Every structure is written in C-alpha cells, then in structure tokens.
Amino acid sequence: MKSLAELKIALVHDQLLEFGGAERVLVSLKKIFPHADIFTTCFRINSLGSHKKLFKRWSVTVSWFGKLPLVNRFYSPFRFLTPLIWESFNFSRYDLVISSSGSWMSKGILTRKPTIHICYLHHPPRYLYDYETAIEWQRYLPVRIYGTIVNHSLRLWDFQSAQRPDFLIANSVETQKRIEKFYRRKSTVIYPPVAIPKTIYNQEQKNYFITISRLAKPKHIEVLIEAANKKRFSLKIIGTGREERFLRSIAGEMVEFLGDLPDNQFEKVISGAKAFLFASKDEEFGIACLEAMGYGIPVIAYNSGGIPEYLVDGKNGFLFDYLNYQSLVDKIKKLNHLSKKEYHQMRRQARKTAERFSEEKFKKKISDFITKAIKKANSLEKINPNL
C-alpha cells in the first residue's frame, strides 16, 4: 500500500468566494497534503480578504460554471446546476479525493474504484432542510415557487450524493446527527482546527464585548446590538456581510463596526475584550467561539446547535436559552458579578478548552483516519474486487 506522501490526492471544496470555518479546514488539509490539487466551483481570490495570501500559490481548477462571466457572482439562483457542476469533473487519475462539503454539496463528485473518496462534511445544505439561511428566499412568491421546485429536486440529489463518499467525517456531533437523520449514514466526528495564539495575552481586559461573524441573518447580530443599545455596553463587531447596512441602521452609539481586520489589529482587539458574544442559530460548530477562547476570552453564546459540545455554562462561559436580548443580558450580568478570581479562572478554562481543538491535533486525527480508511478500503477490495 502507498504511503500518504505517495498518493495522488485531490481536494474538492464547495467555493472560494469568502473565508470562514470551512475554508480554514481546507487550508489545514492543504498543509497536510501540500502537493494535492484543488478543485472548486468558483474562485475569486480578492474576495478572501486578508486571507488571500494563503491561496496565492495554489493551483486551483475551477469548474466551467465558475468561468462564466458574471453568472458565478450571483450563484444562488443557479444552485439547480450543482449536479452538473460536480459530475463534470474527472478524478480517475487520483488515488484519494477529499471533498470539503457544505451548501454547494461537493460530496456529489463522481469517483470510481480504486479511487477512494472521503468527505469532510461541514453541514447538509441549510436551505434544503428548513434551517435559517442568509437570504430569505421564501419571502417573495415568485422566488418561493422557484425555490420550492428546485429544492425538491436538489434534496433528492443531495441524498443520492451523500451515498457516494466511501467515508464521511462530520465536523461536530450536531452535524453527525444531521447526517444520520437526512442521509441515513454513519460518520466519524473530527472537530475542525482552531487558530489559537501560543500564549494568552496578559493585557488587562477592557469593558467592551466583541463578536466576530459574517453579517448574515442566521448569525442574529441584531440580538447583540439590541442588548448593547438597551443596556449601554460597548460592543465591537468584526466582519462584513449582506446584513451590514441593516445592522448599522439599528446600531446605537455603543456599537462599533470594525470590518475585516489585519492579524495584528485583530489580536489586539480580541485580546482586550471582556467576553465574546454569539447568537447564531443552529450553528453546526461555531469556530469563532473557540478562537476567542484561545485568547482566554469567555464566551456567552446562544444554546443551540453544536455550541454546547464545548461551551459549559458557568465554566468557560455562559449559555443563554432564548434568542432575545434579555436572555443574553441575564448572562452578561452573571459574568459581571464574578469575582476577579472567578473571572480569571473562567479565562483559564476557556483557553484550556480551545487547546483541545488545535490545528496540530486536527492534522493528526485526519491523517490517522485517512490511513485507516485506506487500509479498510483496500482490504474490502481484496475480499470482493467487484465492490
């Protein structure tokens, strides 16, 4: 059997139009397999912000769809083309293909034996299974009719495509449950890598709170803003997105929008925060929360999705149970009532939690899983060559 270094490997990713948790996983996979070829639907390096330097030296194969002028900039209405996009790629010359799959369902690629296909699934497409999405496509009747027809066909294809990978990896227990519910398949949980500093900054915490997020509807930044407006505490928001104009319109003087920050400014701002606030609904993992914990910042987050898998109420932060500003404020009050000793203990616990999700641990778990998967696939093929 070939070693991992000898394998011809392809990494397949949904799209490279923004940088988030899924793209962080792709970057880590590329570090494990530096000679792997990259395939994706669309790629616009300038849309990756300060992270574009990570992709500059990559050789990326873009789908025929991604080469169409203007069309890929408005890709949501063209999701019905997803099956045609992924099934157009040819992976016959690869020993191993790893798909990094989410809303654009890159798990739907076609491979044939002896090529092994392993899918790292960030989440089933939210728009197919009644989870909140960045765009309220059901708001307008023509779009709702169109979406209902298209989504029915895509849901059938999504189930079919989920049967194609030889092995499935889920990014959280929450995602693992959704895989079993929607796809009737077993999976292995390997949490995504979290970028954490080597040491906690000794900088004294200031009196502001912080959040880092795409400014999209499911993130419910408006709940954080309402709390800051009514209870008069300072809130700094890092990130951009389609909801920014609306969020700015409802934000009071206590709210500051910082956009995308370069690394040196980001570290200074986050390390000085009193706590990290998070109100996303049905978040599969919530990598931003753990990044904050890596700086020793307690997290106050909505009790939803995969967040409770690592956030323990009263230990490394707080969980609020209702998606409204009052429920959030109640937990902020609990944080403010901690003694200095209790607060610093919570900081230490936050850091300790983040260390469980380091990039090095992710790399080892992925490498071990792939090695075992290849051995298993090869042994099954020897037993039954027709598989």
Alpha-carbon distance of 387 to 375, in angstroms, equals 15
| Contact by Cβ (8 Å): 96, 374 | yes
pTM: 0.91
Res. 234: pLDDT tops 60: yes
> Diameter of the chain by CA atoms?
68
Q: Which helix (H) or strand (E) holds 39?
A: strand 37-40
Cα 189 to the center of its chain, rounded Å: 14
323 vs 204 pLDDT, higher one: 323
Alpha-carbon distance of 140 to 163, in angstroms, equals 33
- The two beta strands, 96-101 and 60-62, are unpaired
Average pLDDT (163-181) is 98
Res. 381: pLDDT tops 70: no
Average pLDDT (180-185) is 98
User: Using one digit for the tens of pLDDT, what is the confidence trace for 268-287?
Assistant: 899 999 999 999 999 999 99
Average pLDDT (253-279) is 92
Predicted confidence at residue 158, as pLDDT, reads 97
> Please, what CATH class does the domain formed by 208-355 belong to?
alpha beta
| Contact by Cβ (8 Å): 229, 247 | no
| Contact by Cβ (8 Å): 246, 225 | no
Using DSSP, state whether 11 is helix, strand or coil. Answer: strand
User: Using one digit for the tens of pLDDT, what is the confidence trace for 104-155?
Assistant: 999 999 999 999 999 999 999 998 998 887 665 555 556 666 667 788 899 9
Predicted confidence at residue 1, as pLDDT, reads 58
206 CB-near residues (< 8 Å, 6+ apart): 272, 273, 274
| Contact by Cβ (8 Å): 251, 229 | yes
Alpha-carbon distance of 66 to 75, in angstroms, equals 9
Predicted confidence at residue 261, as pLDDT, reads 86
Average pLDDT (360-377) is 94
pLDDT band at 215; cut points 50, 70, 90: very high
List, in sequence order, every residue forming a beta bridge with 152; answer none if it has no partner.
none
Cis peptide before 114 (omega within 30 of 0): yes
Predicted confidence at residue 358, as pLDDT, reads 94
Closest by CA to 4, choosing from 372, 381, 384, 263, is 372
Closest by CA to 285, choosing from 48, 108, 39, 25, is 25
pLDDT band at 383; cut points 50, 70, 90: very low
Predicted confidence at residue 264, as pLDDT, reads 81
The structural domains of the chain, with segments of one domain joined by +, span 4-193+358-383, 208-355
Alpha-carbon distance of 74 to 370, in angstroms, equals 36
Give the angle subtended at the CA of 348 by the CAs of 346 and 350, to the nearest 5°: 70
Q: What is the percent of the chain with per-residue pLDDT over 70, rounded to a whole number?
A: 90
Res. 385: pLDDT tops 70: no
334 CB-near residues (< 8 Å, 6+ apart): 314, 318
Q: Could you tell me the CA-to-CA distances from 211 to 154, 228, 336 in Å, in that order?
A: 34, 12, 18
List, in sequence order, every residue forming a beta bridge with 105; answer none if it has no partner.
none
Predicted confidence at residue 4, as pLDDT, reads 76
Helices and strands (DSSP H and E) totals, the chain: 11, 13
258 CB-near residues (< 8 Å, 6+ apart): 236, 237, 238, 269
pLDDT band at 86; cut points 50, 70, 90: very high
Token duo for residue 353: 């939690």
pLDDT band at 198; cut points 50, 70, 90: confident
Predicted confidence at residue 134, as pLDDT, reads 66
Average pLDDT (2-20) is 88
Closest by CA to 258, choosing from 332, 250, 334, 247, is 247
Q: Which of 142-146, 158-162, 197-201, 334-338 has the lowest mean pLDDT?
A: 142-146
Predicted confidence at residue 144, as pLDDT, reads 64
Concatenated DSSP letters of 166-222: SEEEESSHHHHHHHHHHH----EE-PPPB---SS---PPP-SEEEEE----GGG-HH
Res. 380: pLDDT tops 80: no
The dotted CATH code for 4-193+358-383 is 3.40.50
Alpha-carbon distance of 270 to 263, in angstroms, equals 10
Q: Alpha helix locations (H) across 210-339?
A: 221-231, 244-250, 263-271, 287-294, 325-336
- Do 208-355 and 4-193+358-383 have the same topology in CATH? yes
| Contact by Cβ (8 Å): 373, 166 | yes
Predicted confidence at residue 203, as pLDDT, reads 62
Predicted confidence at residue 344, as pLDDT, reads 93
360 CB-near residues (< 8 Å, 6+ apart): none
